Structure 1
């Protein structure tokens, strides 16, 4: 009855803290206990809970000095279009929510954003911060440059998952009709527009959706435009239920709709879904964009990826080229107008996204010096033989190590590491370069090269995405919904701090890894109520790195 009267999501019954509280009550009878009133809940008890959570987070924060930390930030507007900036601290231990800044009465200038981020950096400790990640907005880029001017060792980087999403958007939506690129790629936008038309027609007609459910357990997805790669995700779902869509439009049940409800559009839907050439175009789009989408999934997480991003990008471009050339039956040395368009878009976004720290982290990954990695491709070079990477790396050394002695020490240690020298590294370290995890390799073999080892520990622990900020918005949206529209900003911030960081702590518990209900509570979150209807995914409610929730949608688990 409490769930119904309070309008609570049934998903909250999976909350491990809710379940543990009932277990405690059953085991401990407290005579005369009176539940706290509303005022105590949102004042003293909330403050005590925040203080308790801060104590529980201390072991994670204590690792920041050794492992470094990335400050990530993202902007968001709530239901009343009030602007907020979300700031978290992330490394391999997970994302810790720091604060959400209410800036509805402020203008988001580069100075304002830089001021807020610098205040957070000072609070965390500049010596602990490795980099700052925001989205690709020009004002955020400008704010990042101001931060780099203030701190020599801290660098700004745009969210790589967002960068890839923008690159896909450019591939899917060429907008210059007089450009050569438009002539070579406009067919993609035509296919996407057809898919959107079909999706809207089916979703907007309840009877058609009901008929489709007879042929497929999966549903058409109405994906928010703000979600990463929304058009591509839509096409992937279309391909997954291709046969069901065809069966829908050729079935006898389609005729009543075909004849009586928007005949012209229904005829067009049927024509497209039964057109083999249209499906071949869909398959082609999915084939050459799959490497981009796969990389987006890998980077759209708080897991350490900084030391992998250079190789991942190069490998992605090679796979895109292979898919296009295979479709066009071209030899590698031939020219492809369409590939030139796609490659130009990818290179343009990469030039805006690559940072010196990526090159330095790449240089400190032992795997990239192993023969097994180098021999996988004809054009591969170890980082110390790559002229561009070496130049950027040396520039990083000069910015990070101010004294001549320190600079000479780190260069000497790196030289030994790159050339497989035995002064700082034993012969046993060589075969482990492509066998051990990079951090484990440095912990095992890098003790005699402490300057480079300390830097490796930090760079090999950093993410390349601000996706944890975006997932955090669903928590804030739940707390600052219409019901709590007049909630004081301080209370809302405390609630989000407690709620979000409790999730981080729960993921480190044994129950999280053994109890399926606890995991679904985490990925489903407070907005998760059911998998019915058309199957609507919003960017705030589902990120690309939540396979459990996607599996639930596909299999209708719940």
Structure 2
């Protein structure tokens, strides 16, 4: 993407499948993009903070992010638990006086506390479904059609973990779960678009008997109350046609696993064209007054 005083514009997507994505590859991609735009027009290049991006040295400044950083740090602490405990009971730790002695003692008490480590275990346990979902979504693999169901499953897994830890039955009230649930729903509300729901609805996997039988709470997408079609198609006549087509689609129920692999025939070039059009239409829509004033803006 390129951003100027006139606003952002999507330039292109690059199919990197089959490429070894080291710093040399990244530098080549960025160099080609800069040449395409014109080097005299480029004042800054912004990427994420992955190691390969840092190695490419195409940045003015590296910004810190909070991508699951707390969970990653706790995972690391648990991995080296014995080493940490050996460190704080060593003579070198006891004789260290250059830093705050009070902080050093507090760290020692925490590292040697079973209660503190139990809390770490609990945090990692109930955040594991959230962390795993983020990891799946933060890859180059297409997952738009999986996001809607992943959120549902993730929220249920977090609840089960918290309720088991607190010893509650499923229908009992947990104040901690209530707080966590509100945070998750708030995040989902901010990030969810009708596109996630529609992609979920058109995925044959979620109509299959095999998937539905794995959990008694699961229902096929056409029985879900999310009105994604209404949000996509405002024209009543078009909406009626779409609903009719969707009814015919959903009644098939796709019992055969082979159907899951037979439907997707989208080649990289076709996908790039669709992403180009979709992204720029979204960017252009933000310049309209309707984007700010309409209640159903995407």
TM-score normalised by structure 1 residue count = 0.37
Change (3 A) 1:407 1:350: closer
Superposed, 1:273-422 pairs within 5 Å as 273-386=111-224, 388-389=225-226, 391-396=227-232, 398=233, 404=237, 410-420=242-252
Q: Is the 8 A contact 2:229 2:243 kept in 1?
A: no
2:108 equivalent in structure 1 = 270
Separation in structure 2 between the aligned mates of residue 74 and residue 291 of structure 1, nearest angstrom: 35
Give the structure, 1 or 2, with the largest relative contact order (CA under 8 Å, sep 6 or more).
1
Superposed, 1:61-140 pairs within 5 Å as 89-90=12-13
2:256 equivalent in structure 1 = 431
Change (3 A) 1:329 1:408: closer
Q: Is the 8 A contact 1:366 1:441 kept in 2?
A: no
1:92 shift after superposition: 7.1
1:413 shift after superposition: 3.5
Separation in structure 1 between the aligned mates of residue 192 and residue 2 of structure 2, nearest angstrom: 19
Query: Quick check: 1:241 aligned with 2:98?
Result: no
1:482 equivalent in structure 2 = none
Separation in structure 2 between the aligned mates of residue 85 and residue 229 of structure 1, nearest angstrom: 28
Separation in structure 2 between the aligned mates of residue 338 and residue 268 of structure 1, nearest angstrom: 27
Query: Quick check: 1:252 aligned with 2:91?
Result: yes
2:263 equivalent in structure 1 = 442
Q: Any idea what the Cα deviations from partners look like across 1:124-179, whole Å, max 9, x if unmatched?
A: xxxxxxxxxxxxxxxxxxxxxxxxxxxxxxxxxxxxxxxxxxxxxxxxxxxxxxxx
Separation in structure 1 between the aligned mates of residue 264 and residue 157 of structure 2, nearest angstrom: 34
Separation in structure 1 between the aligned mates of residue 114 and residue 244 of structure 2, nearest angstrom: 62
Separation in structure 2 between the aligned mates of residue 298 and residue 262 of structure 1, nearest angstrom: 41
Q: Is the 8 A contact 1:368 1:382 kept in 2?
A: yes
In the alignment, structure 2 segments of 5+ residues that lack a partner are 18-25, 45-62, 276-298
Separation in structure 2 between the aligned mates of residue 253 and residue 362 of structure 1, nearest angstrom: 57
1:70 equivalent in structure 2 = none
1:250 shift after superposition: 1.4
In the alignment, structure 1 segments of 5+ residues that lack a partner are 1-72, 76-83, 105-223, 422-428, 445-452, 463-558
1:264 shift after superposition: 2.2
Separation in structure 2 between the aligned mates of residue 430 and residue 403 of structure 1, nearest angstrom: 32
Q: Is the 8 A contact 1:368 1:374 kept in 2?
A: yes
Q: Is the 8 A contact 2:229 2:239 kept in 1?
A: no
1:252 shift after superposition: 3.2
Change (3 A) 1:88 1:344: farther
Please say which of residues 281-290 and 94-103 is displaced more in the overlay: 94-103
Q: Is the 8 A contact 1:74 1:85 kept in 2?
A: yes
Separation in structure 2 between the aligned mates of residue 320 and residue 248 of structure 1, nearest angstrom: 34
Q: Is the 8 A contact 2:85 2:112 kept in 1?
A: yes
User: Structure 1 or 2: larger strand share?
Assistant: 1
Q: Any idea what the Cα deviations from partners look like across 1:38-79, whole Å, max 9, x if unmatched?
A: xxxxxxxxxxxxxxxxxxxxxxxxxxxxxxxxxxx598xxxx
Q: Is the 8 A contact 2:198 2:228 kept in 1?
A: yes
Change (3 A) 1:383 1:91: farther
TM-score normalised by structure 2 residue count = 0.66
Separation in structure 1 between the aligned mates of residue 173 and residue 198 of structure 2, nearest angstrom: 33
Change (3 A) 1:282 1:253: same
1:159 equivalent in structure 2 = none
Separation in structure 1 between the aligned mates of residue 43 and residue 175 of structure 2, nearest angstrom: 46
Separation in structure 2 between the aligned mates of residue 393 and residue 290 of structure 1, nearest angstrom: 33
Q: Is the 8 A contact 1:360 1:393 kept in 2?
A: yes
